[in-house]
Structures are given as C-alpha cells and as structure tokens.
Amino acid sequence: MSVEEIIERILSSRKDVTRNMILRLINKKIQESKGFLTLEGAARAVAAEFGLEITGIPLMKGTSIRNLVSGLSDVTIVGRILHVNPIRTFVRSNGEEGKMRSLYITDGTSMLRVVVWGDLVNDLDFKVIGKIVRFSHGYVREGYDGKLEFNIGSKGKVEISPRGISEDDFPPLERFFKKIGRIESETKVNIFGLVVNVFPVNTFIRKDKSSGKVRRIEVGDRTGKVTVVLWNNKVDELASVETGKYLEILGAKVRKDINGRVELHVDGSVDAALLPTLPPDLRNVSLYA
C-alpha cells in the first residue's frame, strides 16, 4: 500500500482531520525515529494511532521503544535486557503444550515488556540479563495491563549481542537498579539482592473468607539489607527461595512497617525471579560481588 493510499484511508475514516494534519504527524514520526522509520512505515504508524488495521510495516533498522504503537507488525527493536522471567507452559486448544517467557528491555527511551513464544524462549535465560538483544519480525499490541508489549514467535528472530550494535548506545544495566541501602521515599524500585534469610510461609483469612499467604525474606547488597514481603501467588512462584540465591525484582512496591523501616512488597503485579548466580554482566560490579 502506498503512502498516498494510507493517507486516503485515514481521511475517509476520520472526517475531523485534514491532509496537512496527517502529513505533519507522519513527518513527526520520521523525525522522532531518527531515521529508523521509512516514509511508509511512519504513515502506517500514524494510521494505527487512528485505529486503522495495519500489516507488514517495513521498519529498516528497528524503531525506538517510545515510538511504538499498538497494531504495528513486522517490527524490529533493539535494547538491553533488564529482567527475564521463568518459562511458563500452557496447553493449546488442540491439546499440544506451548511455552512462553516474558522479559523487559530498554533502549534508553523507555522500557518495554517483550513476550517470547515457542522455542525462542530457550535462548533467553537469566544469563542474558544485561546483554544487548535484537528482536526481528515481531508485533506490538496492548497487554493485559493496558501497556504496550512486543510479541515474537516462530517467525521471529532473536540475536544476542548483534553485530553492528554498540554497547555504548545503551545505558548500562546498573543504572536501572537501586542500591538497597539507598532506598528511601520511592514508590517503586528495581533491585538485585542476595537472599540472606528466609522466613516461613504464613496464611491468613481475608474479609471475604478466602485464604491468602505471605512470606518474608531478607535480601542485601554491599550497601544494606531490606525485608521483601511476598504475597499470595508470588509465594508459590518463588517457593524455591533459599539463602545464597540472588533475587531480582522489577517494580517492587516500597512501603514502611510499623517501626518506619522500609519494606519491599511483591504481589502479582510485580515481576520477580530467582537467579542461581549473578548475570555475567553484573559480576564485575562490586556492589553485588
């Protein structure tokens, strides 16, 4: 589909916009992408923002995360891996078992949840945390939480430390994680910590008579220690927690206990994973060694 055809489709579906408005939006997309979007790709991105169905967007080198919109397909993105969740398995409607893994990347413009399907999950364990990755031939949609997510399956391609991509083009991993001893008044933080104490699971009854469970663990780095409170399904997901393992949490909720001490709360809305050792890219950072 030509750019002119895309513009005509937008005009026919939206009587409240003009041709000049659309052209300005297309030009803005091209400028914001710093050359990553072709003219047609920018036009299709604008069409997606107006709610038009789109397919086959030709993105040349990849596009920055902040320029993604729901509905884009055949997308290439590049970023540094911040967090990798465990593999999840499921049963398809035909009875076959499938598998998926979610992770988070950043390119310095924003952070993005990536959902990987099928055999591609095997190449993305915790050892790639901190590495630069290029995902090709994926698609963008709105996730369960209303935020954009990038999905990639059997037709996609995953390249760890791809050629032609400089490490210096992406912010370092440690920039995104808070030193435990420096946590103060933030509402949410990302941390790596060594598990130094594990307390028993406690159960409780809610007002609606349903049961819940909670577990406290203590994690630390060279700057200090903090209590992490796991709730309900996170107690089960992290059931193998033990001293000597590392815990990575993305988006832990900062609270204070009755004595005014900081705690980190982890529920179903928070991503957390246990790591047997530190990711290679963090082993030379004295904070965690």
**What contacts 162, CB < 8 A, 6 or more positions away?**
78, 132, 133, 134
Place 83 in a pLDDT band, splitting at 50, 70 and 90: very high
Side-chain-side CA neighbours of residue 113 (13 Å): 18
- Which residue ranges form the domains of the chain, and what is each CATH number? 1-52 (no CATH), 62-171 (2.40.50.140), 177-282 (2.40.50.140)
Highest mean pLDDT among 32-36, 104-108, 164-168, 169-173: 104-108
In the predicted structure, residue 157 carries a pLDDT above the cut 60: yes
- Higher per-residue confidence, 246 vs 19: 246
Q: Which of 61, 143, 63 is nearest to 100 (CA)?
A: 143
Q: Is the pLDDT of residue 289 over 70?
A: no
**Res 261 pLDDT > 70:** yes
pLDDT at position 190, please? 94
> Taking the model in full, what pTM does it have?
0.76
Q: Which residue has the higher pLDDT, 1 or 184?
A: 184
Query: In the beta sheet, which residues pair with residue 151?
Result: 115, 139
> How do residues 164-187 score in pLDDT, each as one tens digit?
888 888 888 888 899 999 998 889
DSSP secondary structure letters along 93-126: TTS-EEEEEEEEEE-SS-EEEEEEEGGGGGG-SG
pLDDT band at 61 (very low <50, low <70, confident <90, very high): very low
Mean pLDDT for 130-139 is 91
